[in-house]
Amino acid sequence: MIRLTQMVQKTGCSVKIPAQELKQVLSALKPNVSDLNLLIDGGTFDDAAVYKVSENMALVQTVDFFTPSVDSPYEFGKIAAANALSDVYAMGGVPKLALAVLGYPLATLDKAIVQKIMQGAQEVLQLAQTHLVGGHSIDNADLIFGFSVTGFVNPQKIWSNQGAQGGDLLILTKPIGVSALTTALKRGLSTEKEIEIGIQSMSTLNEIQSLLSEDNIKGIHAVTDITGFGLSGHAMQMAIASQKTIKIRYSDIPCFKGALDILEQGLLTKAHRTNRAYTQEQSDWSVLSETEQLMINDPQTSGGLLISVSPLLANEILDKLKIKFVNAAIIGQVMDKNGESVTHVSLNNDRVIEKSIDKLSAPWVIYEK
């Protein structure tokens, strides 16, 4: 039996280019021509772009692909689909169209395995009522798979990572530490059966609106999904985008059973180091142990949503989320930030681009025990 994780050097979202290097690459780009219909671009590292097409409709556009995080082709397909769809859900949108991005070594990988990957993905797409309408494939040394996804959202009801308000409470829907579990799998120190809870979590759709009332939805001020940059990276991006300070209680963060032990053994990915380098100047985690710091920087594949909600509705929203996400928890709070205003890096407006403005008011995220 072919183990997909043995075909690649890095697995899942840990293959993402480090955020610091990505920033350097993007810094060479000139701002696009201003377009008032482009409601959200890449300026705040949000989960997807949003383009207004009418007063009541906007397009949500994203793309996400990676190498296998598990050995089972069918499960890999499910995880890849759930992960790509998550970006649309994180914007408050409804995904509708998906284009596959596929690369695999034609000479060495049996087509039946690729078919199983596609079948797993199709199961999740059908659950999300999203149509697979085509894609692009190449002969490639490494197996890579994912989707470009198009969805729709009401322009007045967009979620983003920019709207967190002082006093909000933060809800995390899925446990963290999945990269630790999949690293142990790749090293042959665990089986898919032993990390079944992590696999199930990764293939669970981050669709939450059907669980909530209209009043609940109105109480949600900011959302982002936790993927390759870890809880630390995505929480930091939300704090900077919203110009707020975020406080997170480590003891309240749901973590996968066994993940901390794996990290203590030193079973790490490169992304643990690069995520830490990306966030350490803007975060204060001095009260955390070395292993706990690794946990918050653990790169997640198809992780949960981090949701900034009104404190008046937080418990009600949490109870409803727990119907689907049993480990969901309130992990912290949002505070108003004193100090300098922030000019965000943007590729689509005429504002002055400040490449290091996010360091002026550090720390943006404070971790407590």
Q: Which of the residues are catalytic?
A: 13
The torsion of the CA quartet 170, 148, 210, 226, rounded to 10 degrees, works out to: -20
Question: What token pair was written down for 155?
Answer: 């322009």
153, 19, 4, 185: which is closest to 87 by C-alpha? 153
Question: What token pair was written down for 51?
Answer: 């383009």
Distance separating the N- and C-terminal Cα atoms of the chain: 44
Pairing mode, strands 283-284 and 365-368: parallel
Q: For residues 346 and 26, is the Cβ–Cβ distance under 8 A?
A: no
Indicate the helix (H) or strand (E) that contains 175.
none
Distances (CA, A) of 97 to 56, 94, 151: 19, 10, 7
Q: How far apart are CA 25 and CA 257, in angstroms?
A: 37
CA 350 from chain centre, in angstroms, equals 28
Question: CB neighbours of 46 closer than 8 A, spacing ≥ 6?
Answer: 40, 91, 160, 161, 162, 224, 241
Residue type, 312: L
Q: How far apart are CA 7 and CA 18, in angstroms?
A: 22
Question: What token pair was written down for 282?
Answer: 């803007």
